[in-house]
Amino acid sequence: MWEFHTNVNKMSRLMDNSFALSKFIIDGRISGAVVFTLFVVLCVTPQALSDSVNVVYLNRNWSLRNQNGSIYIKDVIIPSGVYSSMYGENVLDSWNDVNLRWIAYDNWTYTNEFSVNTTELKNIRFKNLTLYGIDTVAEVRLNHYLLGRTDNMFVRYSFEISKYLKEENLLEIEILSPVHAALQKANELMAQGIEVPPNCPNPRYHGECHMNMLRKMQASFSWDWGLAAPSMGIWKTVALEYYDVALIREVDVAMTKNDTHWNMDVRVFIDSAGHHDFYAELTFYAVELLKNPLIINDYTKVPISYKAPVIMFQVAFPINKVTLWWPNGHGEQKLYPLHFSLKAWWDASGTSLRNRVTSKKSIRVGFRTIELVEDAVSEGTGNSFFFRVNGKEIFMKGSNYIPSHILPEYSFDALRIGHLLNSAKEAHHNMIRVWGGGIYESDYFYDLADASGILIWQDMMFACAMYPTTDSFLASVRKEVVQNAQRLSHHASVAIFATNNENEVAIAQNWYGTMEERYKTEYRELYLATVVHELKVVGHNDRPNPLVSSPSNGKESAKDNYISENPQDPNYGDVHFYDVFKDGWNPSIYPRPRFASEYGFQSIPSLTAWRRSMYDNDSLSDLIEHRQHHPLGMLAITTLVRQHFPLPLPEDDNYLEGLAYFSQLTQAMATKVETEFYRSLRNTEHRTMGALYWQLNDVWVAPSWSAIDFYGNFKLLHYWSKEFLAPIAIVALPDSRTNSINVSLICDDFKVETEGLYVSMHIYKWSQLYPKDTKTWPATLVPNGVHYDKVIPIDGIMNGEFTKQNSFVEFVLHRYNQIMAHTFYFPTTFNNVQAIKDPELDLEVRNTYCRTAANVKLNSFSLALTTKYPAIFVYIELLLESRNDIKNYKLSKNGFMLTSGSCVVHLEFESSKCVKLKRSDLNVLTVNQFLKV
């Protein structure tokens, strides 16, 4: 028998002992707003705890065993999964996505033995066992009595357990193999002559079949960027809830605004285990907005129906007393704490103080309006598609977000989530699309998005598949949609819901052989009659209506009953664009859409990242090939790389180093060109108003479209995005039709100073530093818009001593002597440039600085670089594979052109100690070294 011991999670002690933290740890983590909650509980409402709903968290002292009992693991802490309980994150190493797959083929049982004082609980009416997240198909037993079954990892399950509860109790949650459970459901439908494709993923995915049979993270069965790790576990908190009448589950707050006031529409969603109407009084605290609490006593005489237990009320605040919430880059993110205290009773005569009748909930809200504007355009055909926030048209720029970990029990990691969202904020993201093949993210994720000003385009969890429409499946989906919409809708960051990812276009383009009318009928039944219908629970006149799919033609889709012949019509809605066989550096290949919600290019993580995830006897080239899940294999990457760079041959010693480096360069440049192209179309007849590239993050070390690798280190794409998504940017895009360069000046700021603005065009030769020729001209910026500055014939630049092979161009936007933005134009590929020299680049580590902050050491260094000739796309990498004192690091810039004699790059990272770095700890690459110089 195998026996494993897991470490005790310090957080679980808080989770076991304090009901006051209940709202903030239902996802297994404590929210940033917990300080306010403690203030409210301890200072604002100092009533005796004896009348409060009591919540006890069963997050410790679990054990886990497989079906035949040959494996037994004790001291398991919730949140937990079978993979993580046995091997931690080792499934991400080497070939363990395959070698550990046996775990997903077994059935596993979690067991918890707990004690209760039945005498103290005797007079409490309801004792609930609430499971906030079971992954996925499971049977729940208490003291050998079947409480019920679960089939949806996105649903909260509650069981009233009064008649089963004893002094000493045995709780068992038996989780079935998701692989076998999915196959069984598929076979049951097949027996009825019903096929729900796709049955299996592409063989390159090394995945499992029938992911769409289960209401589970779809990516856990594999994806083109991720491994198959068919997870099982208790991925969220387990709680015992003791109360007499009812408790608050969620609160929704919607905002409307008139000329004088903000009106807050509040809906308090309540749970009651009893089939009995009840009376209630709600006390509402808004400590920054109201001098005194507001008491809602409408239901002290007229009872609330147990069939639809919700309290609704409105409250108005003068406009001059409210600070607006703005997306990142457009203003501050003011959040107001709200606290709700519900007192409920059965009898109109009232209740005793000794009853558990008071339930509390705390949230934070931001005052903002948001509209999705789809009006007929004045030029050309079609409708606009853009977001208006607080009355301002805002270009949405950012990326798509996949789960932060393939094992959902790790998806609450505050450090990982914080790093990703803070990195997005620093790179000027104002919107992230939470993709539909993952999970509804944790409370902490949305709290941080609120605080960061990052709007969320929230997909519901359906992606790239048809789905069953059996009664049981649809019933489960209804619960999923209602529960998650109620939990998320109050967040200032949540901009819009979309019911699925790419399922309309899959039908329209027959991705899975679904031309039969049946599939269209089932599509509409699932997304229109079920998901959209259930989202009405948080519907509001001042909230955008849900999108039925992405991509789609937006509201125009209604004319086609929501399955359009071409859901990618650039004149309507949003588009997804990928074309790996065209030159991604050429802006002419891209559509001119209203909104680009998904697009991107693959790259390979650094060799340092690969070595951190390898075993000693692994072949790096074989591992890269194994983890390349693109159906075209490495061709999707190497085709674009070889168009522009001198990639070594596979048999060369530096092939893999060159492949990783060049792939990141081609990804960064192609994404830069595409994003800049979309941004430049804003004030044209195309009215493009959104660019969300695919994808921000990764779930393991693999070829993928990510800008940040799994360890949190930035690829060149993320470094570059800080410039091509900047509020003020200069764009110089070649136009092959006119053989010219279109120079545009982009400004996202609502107000801008136009004094002292000018553009410089520097012409360099590859053979020497500093520009050989410079031209300047005055410029201006259009607030919250694009100024189309110049159309410059390329022949007017590349003439005389300057040729496309020996020269390149830099465009710089200045305000007086300050550089505001810059960009380069390269007239030919780097395979064809001439007169490149060895830059004789030198790097020296200087100015080490270390300070203590939040129990870590903040290490910073100045890296001084000197060069004698232009150094092309200088790439600096901190070698981490042999050290465990640094997880990830950040450079002030990377992948940059060094065209002057020297520069300084700042390096920062956190560690448990002050670290000394040597030159040998850093690797530096340039394109020069791969060229024949």
Helix (H), strand (E), coil (C) string for 90-129: HHHCCCHHHHCHHHHHCCEEEEEEEECCHHHHCCCCEEEE
Contact indicator for 159, 129 with CB cutoff of 8 Å: yes
Please tell me the distance from the alpha carbon of residue 670 to that of residue 679, in angstroms, as a whole number. Answer: 14
Q: How far is CA 783 from CA 418, 800, 815, in A?
A: 31, 38, 15
* Helix 716-724 vs helix 655-680: crossing angle, to nearest 10: 20
As a dihedral over the C-alpha atoms of residue 547, residue 551, residue 555, residue 558, rounded to 10 degrees, the angle is: -100
Please tell me the distance from the alpha carbon of residue 731 to that of residue 676, in angstroms, as a whole number. Answer: 6
Which tokens go with 888? 């990830």
| Residue 223 β-bridge partners | 226
896-898 sheet: strands from edge to edge: 896-898, 871-878, 922-925
247-257 sheet: strands from edge to edge: 247-257, 261-271, 310-318
Contact indicator for 118, 163 with CB cutoff of 8 Å: no
Among candidate residues 659, 669, 675, 673, the one with its CA nearest the CA of residue 605: 659
Specify the residue for token string 């780097």: 830
Please tell me the distance from the alpha carbon of residue 440 to that of residue 448, in angstroms, as a whole number. Answer: 14
Residue 475 phi/psi, 5° resolution? -65, -40
- β-pairing verdict for 856-866 and 807-815: unpaired
- β-pairing verdict for 494-498 and 889-891: unpaired
Q: How many CA atoms lie within 13 A of 331 on its CB side?
A: 17
Among candidate residues 408, 406, 475, 471, the one with its CA nearest the CA of residue 442: 408
Residue 19: predicted pLDDT: 28
Q: DSSP letters of 758-779?
A: EEEEEEEETTSSS-SEEEEEE-
How far apart are the two ends of the chain, measured CA to CA in Å?
A: 63
Residue ranges of alpha helices (H) inside 293-438 are 414-426
| Sequence-ordered list of residues with C-beta below 8 angstroms from that of 346, at least 6 positions apart, any chain | 244, 245, 274, 276, 278, 279
Residue 38: predicted pLDDT: 35
The residue type at 787: H
Q: How far is CA 297 from CA 41, 282, 302, 351, 696, in A?
A: 21, 7, 9, 15, 47
The H or E element that residue 675 is part of is helix 655-680
Please tell me the distance from the alpha carbon of residue 333 to that of residue 364, in angstroms, as a whole number. Answer: 11
Among candidate residues 14, 4, 150, the one with its CA nearest the CA of residue 71: 4
Q: Report the helix count and the strand count for the chain, using DSSP H and E.
A: 17, 45
DSSP 218: G
Residue 449: predicted pLDDT: 98
Please list the ranges in the chain whose pLDDT falls under 50. Answer: 1-48
The H or E element that residue 740 is part of is strand 740-747
Residue 855: predicted pLDDT: 85
Please tell me the distance from the alpha carbon of residue 828 to that of residue 792, in angstroms, as a whole number. Answer: 17
Residue 352: predicted pLDDT: 54
Among candidate residues 813, 840, 842, the one with its CA nearest the CA of residue 904: 842
The whole-angstrom distance between residue 501's C-alpha and the CA centroid of its chain comes to 14
| Residue 317 β-bridge partners | 262
Q: How many residues does the chain have?
A: 933
Among candidate residues 407, 393, 466, 584, the one with its CA nearest the CA of residue 198: 466
Which tokens go with 123? 């007079």
pTM for the model stands at 0.94
Please tell me the distance from the alpha carbon of residue 132 to that of residue 91, in angstroms, as a whole number. Answer: 25
The H or E element that residue 835 is part of is none
| Residue 793 β-bridge partners | 740
- β-pairing verdict for 126-131 and 238-243: antiparallel
